[in-house]
Amino acid sequence: MGKRVGGGSSLRRAPMTAPARTWRELVHALITAPARGRAWRELVYALTMPLMAGIGLVHLVLVLLSVAMTVNLVGIPMLALSVFAARGLGTANRGLARVLAGVRVTAPAPFRTRPGLLNRLGAALGDVTGWRAVIHGLVRLPAAVVAFAVAAGLWGGGLLLLCCPLWWRSPAFAHLSPSGWPGAVLMSAAGLALLLLAPWGVHHALAPERTLARTLLGPDPGAARIRRLEQARAMAVDDAAARLRQVERDLHDGTAAQLVTLALNLGMVQEDLEHAHRPERLERARALVDGAHRGAKEAVAELRDLIRGLHPPALDKGLETALATLAARSPVPVRLETDLPERPAPAIEAISYFCTAELLANVAKHSGAGHASVDVRAGDGLLTLIVRDDGVGGAATNTGSGLRGLAARTGMVDGTIDVRSPAGGPTVITVELPLHI
């Protein structure tokens, strides 16, 4: 169907409806899935999983033998060596999962020990990362069998059925051969359908393995949390020292200098008032009093700004009011949306306020954005702050002290900050904080 445009005879096609676009995108994704690199990488990963699982099983047998031999003390060095070797196996599995299955697993802390044989044995026997890799080698066996079976069944079965017209008359496949050409064509069509579904099937069959890799091949959650808190504490100490130095400079170079000038002016006024009978001295005294008055007001304004930087008075009325004040002051138009059924802890409100202030300042100074938005939500014990802008992108936590400072602030309360800022934009920065500490 079409409709006439203007006075000409050309027809314009009606726009495609949303359901039609959805079906078209689905069919396109289904047809092109076997040709994508991810499908082939996941197929290779599924086919190599039994090999790696077999190596893990052999290693597990060595660990069990070492445990059994510890009664003779001979097995203690063997067990320590086996646990240490499990680290290498875990590293190999983690690399394969990253390259072939697209699993991003943070590398655990490196193995550390003090000099001495007994120290090395004790560190290896108590290595949590090594023992987690041993457990991974045991529990991944069922996941490896399932993934291999699905990959072999879908890809192998699909190829076999697709080539049915080539082998259906062969005596070697007599038990599979259809009754005639129509049956062979139907089996070939079924094989094509299996090949189209194979990438999706293998991807979902690898879900248990991806979960095991993230759970067991990464750092120990307790150790990772301790390391994160140590890093956050170090960054917080540095941030606090830098802020104290900044406050000292502001007071020394700004307010203190103005107060010194004020005192000098008042001294000169006092001297001039002693000669008030002379008109020129009285006139100069009036001018000095006017200057001292202006200086006093400027010093009070600077002190007020400094105090506001330490604790914004707007937070006394709630986080929504404080963020609305920030949005109104921003030179870039900001859309603010808040949904806070309950009020966060005062420390969380302060961190949220300063994070928003820093992010909006970055938007105004560096992004070149025309619009920005601030969304604040609370739920499930978390406060989520999302700042978006339509600028040039390129923001990263390792490119400036501002975002590193925000990471320190959020890390002090077990919060997280996620920066997504591809070149060309848009930039989306998400801060998650606990509602209460």
Q: Looking at the structure, give the CATH architecture of the domain made up of residues 316-434.
A: 2-Layer Sandwich (3.30)
List pLDDT tens digits, range 148-159.
999 988 888 888
Q: What is the 3-state secondary structure (H, E, C) of 266-330?
A: HHHHHHHHCCCCCHHHHHHHHHHHHHHHHHHHHHHHHHHHHHHHHCCHHHHHCHHHHHHHHHHHC
Using 50, 70 and 90 to split pLDDT, how confident is the model at 185?
confident
Q: What pLDDT does residue 358 have?
A: 86
Measured CA to CA, the distance from residue 272 to residue 405 in angstroms comes to 51
Q: Provide the 8-state DSSP code for 11.
A: E
pLDDT of 331 higher than 90: no
Which residue has tokens 């006092």? 270
Which residue has tokens 């069944």? 153
Phi, psi of 13 (to 5 degrees): -70, 135
Number of helical H runs and strand E runs in the chain = 15, 7
Would you give the end-to-end CA distance of the chain in angstroms? 62
Residues 407, 361 contacting (CB under 8 angstroms): no
Average pLDDT (52-78) is 81
DSSP result, 91-121: HHHHHHHHHHS----PPPPPP---SSHHHHH
**Inter-axis angle of helices 75-100 and 128-151, nearest 10:** 50
pLDDT of 389 higher than 70: yes
Measured CA to CA, the distance from residue 131 to residue 158 in angstroms comes to 40
Instruction: Compute how many other C-beta atoms are within 10 angstroms of the C-beta atom of residue 408.
Output: 21
Instruction: Using the Cα atoms of residue 80, residue 97, residue 428 and residue 320 in order, give the sign of their dihedral.
Output: negative
Query: Which amino acid, residue 65?
Result: L
pLDDT of 240 higher than 70: no
Closest CA to 205 of 342, 47, 334, 62: 47
pTM as predicted: 0.50
Closest CA to 380 of 342, 417, 430: 342
Q: What pLDDT does residue 178 have?
A: 57
Q: What does the domain layout of the chain look like in residue ranges? A: 37-216, 221-310, 316-434
Using 50, 70 and 90 to split pLDDT, how confident is the model at 421?
confident
